């Protein structure tokens, strides 16, 4: 229906009606009671709480009718909401405005109508409390109109209370959502702080152990120790010092690398490169360490070109972290597979899988958290810093990629890195 030309504030009126969020809601006992009270008070068969929409009048409360709405263009209430006071039609059949109305010449055969406007606090007429009879009524007095007006005021109050109650409940729900989100974030923060505290304690222990070795060996070197094996002992002590220093350097480098990846100043130098070559060159560095540990490394690379825009050093770092982890947690006789393929989504998929100790399903999320270590990692003699996977994930994300982990305890682990290929459309690379 077109906006009512006789109702200049129709747009604002409809906005006010819709803001109440009441249309097409279930019946409410108190409004039904008011409609029943109006029907009994005025001895009429029909009484309605009618809300006038853009193209219909919808009955929030209804006594004496089987329908829940009628078209607005034939409704009496459309005329009533334009009036300043109670709108009364004593005999619709004798009124030129309504004598041919389908509601008059057909069911429900309206003859008498009286409607009191339902006004919102900002004085918008959103509907009526109306009474209807199937016979003409010329006995309605000004006092009857006042009584109908008072009942309409009660309906207005109920609608206002309903709106305020709904707003209050929505606000409570919103606040509860915020509280839940805050609590979840608080729990995550506590978990991170605990993981960081545990990690710092472990790091202090890991640093103290090689420092003790260095100190002890230095003391031995400073002591005069004549004898035929002085040179061999000196070499042994020096080797211990070198190994301890190397471990401490690796530990400090890992911590600094992670700090860099979290820094806003950290950047990657993107340039076209052959990802397959990067994978082959990096994996080759681990052939000897794997052989020494009794492990087999298998490399599987698609024949299709796999070019990416990436930082070769950072991509090597990702792969080195993943293969190093696989070496640490795979027992002698196990196998490590490095695979590179083009996914059906046009992304490069680089995976490192092993037949190692694996991770319990409940700890997979923890394995990707900085400073955290899983139960299987804690048990391993090769347990590292707990930063390898977080660093790899940060670097993958800096390349507009992602890192995911799947694992089964006692069976093995697979870490997959996806990277956008350089032949992907730019928009797809940015949203990948």
* Chain centroid to CA 280: 39
pLDDT at res. 286: 87
Q: Which domains does the chain have, with CATH numbers?
A: 8-170 (3.30.450.40), 178-262 (1.10.287.130), 271-428 (3.30.565.10)
pLDDT at res. 232: 73
pLDDT at res. 225: 60
Say how far apart CA 314 and CA 298 lie, in whole Å: 22
pLDDT at res. 217: 73
Q: Locate 349 and state its tokens.
A: 């998929």
The list of the chain residues with pLDDT below 50 reads 1-5, 425-426, 428-432
Q: Count CB-CB contacts under 10 A for residue 346.
A: 14
Say how far apart CA 316 and CA 308 lie, in whole Å: 13
Predicted model pTM: 0.47
Torsion-angle region of residue 15: left (phi > 0), alpha (psi -120 to 50) or beta?
A: alpha
Q: Which is nearest to 119 in space by CA: 73, 68, 81, 161?
A: 81
pLDDT at res. 194: 77
Say how far apart CA 248 and CA 242 lie, in whole Å: 10
In 195-208, which positions are buried (b, 16+ CB within 10 angstroms) versus exposed (e)? Answer: beeebeebbeebee
Say how far apart CA 228 and CA 47 lie, in whole Å: 118
pLDDT at res. 146: 96
Q: Locate 11 and state its tokens.
A: 């747009």
pLDDT at res. 340: 93
Say how far apart CA 358 and CA 364 lie, in whole Å: 10
Task: Report cis status (omega within 30 of 0) of the bond before 71.
Answer: no
Q: Locate 129 and state its tokens.
A: 């409390």
Say how far apart CA 388 and CA 250 lie, in whole Å: 12
pLDDT at res. 430: 46
């Amino acid at each position: 229906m077109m906006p009512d030309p006789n109702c200049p504030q129709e747009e604002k009126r409809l906005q006010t009606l819709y803001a109440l969020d009441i249309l097409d809601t279930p019946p409410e006992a108190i409004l039904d009671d008011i409609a029943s009270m109006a029907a009994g008070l005025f001895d009429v068969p029909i009484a309605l709480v009618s809300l006038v929409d853009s193209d219909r009048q919808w009955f929030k409360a209804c006594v004496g009718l089987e329908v829940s709405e009628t078209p607005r263009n034939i409704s009496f209430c459309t005329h009533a909401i334009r009036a300043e006071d109670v709108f009364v039609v004593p005999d619709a059949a004798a009124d030129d405005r309504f004598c041919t109305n389908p509601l008059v010449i057909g069911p429900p055969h309206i003859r008498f109508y009286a409607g009191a406007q339902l006004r919102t606090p900002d004085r918008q007429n959103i509907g009526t409390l109306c009474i209807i009879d199937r016979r003409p009524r010329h006995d309605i007095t000004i006092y009857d109109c006042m009584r109908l007006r008072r009942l309409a005021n009660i309906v207005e109050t109920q609608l206002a209370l309903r709106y305020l109650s709904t707003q209050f409940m929505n606000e409570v729900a919103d606040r509860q959502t915020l509280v839940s989100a805050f609590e979840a974030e608080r729990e995550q923060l506590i978990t991170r702080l605990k993981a960081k505290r545990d990690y710092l304690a472990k790091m202090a222990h890991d640093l103290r152990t090689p420092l003790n070795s260095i100190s002890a060996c230095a003391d031995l070197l400073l002591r005069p120790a004549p004898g035929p094996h002085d040179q061999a002992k000196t070499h042994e002590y020096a080797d211990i010092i070198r190994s301890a220093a190397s471990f401490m350097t690796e530990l400090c480098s890992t911590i600094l690398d992670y700090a860099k990846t979290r820094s806003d100043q950290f950047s990657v130098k993107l340039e076209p490169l052959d990802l397959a070559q990067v994978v082959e060159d990096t994996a080759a560095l681990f052939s000897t360490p794997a052989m020494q540990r009794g492990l087999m490394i298998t490399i599987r690379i698609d024949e299709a070109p796999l070019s990416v825009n990436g930082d070769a050093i950072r991509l090597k770092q990702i792969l080195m972290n993943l293969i190093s982890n696989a070496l640490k947690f795979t027992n002698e006789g196990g196998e490590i597979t490095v695979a590179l393929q083009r996914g059906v989504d046009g992304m490069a998929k680089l995976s490192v899988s092993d037949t190692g100790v694996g991770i319990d399903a409940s700890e997979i999320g923890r394995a990707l958290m900085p400073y955290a270590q899983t139960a299987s990692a804690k048990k391993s003699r090769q347990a590292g810093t707990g930063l390898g996977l977080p660093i790899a994930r940060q670097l993958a994300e800096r390349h507009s990629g992602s890192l995911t982990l799947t694992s089964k305890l006692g069976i093995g682990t697979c870490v997959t890195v996806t990277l956008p290929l350089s032949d992907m459309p730019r928009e797809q690379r940015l949203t990948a």
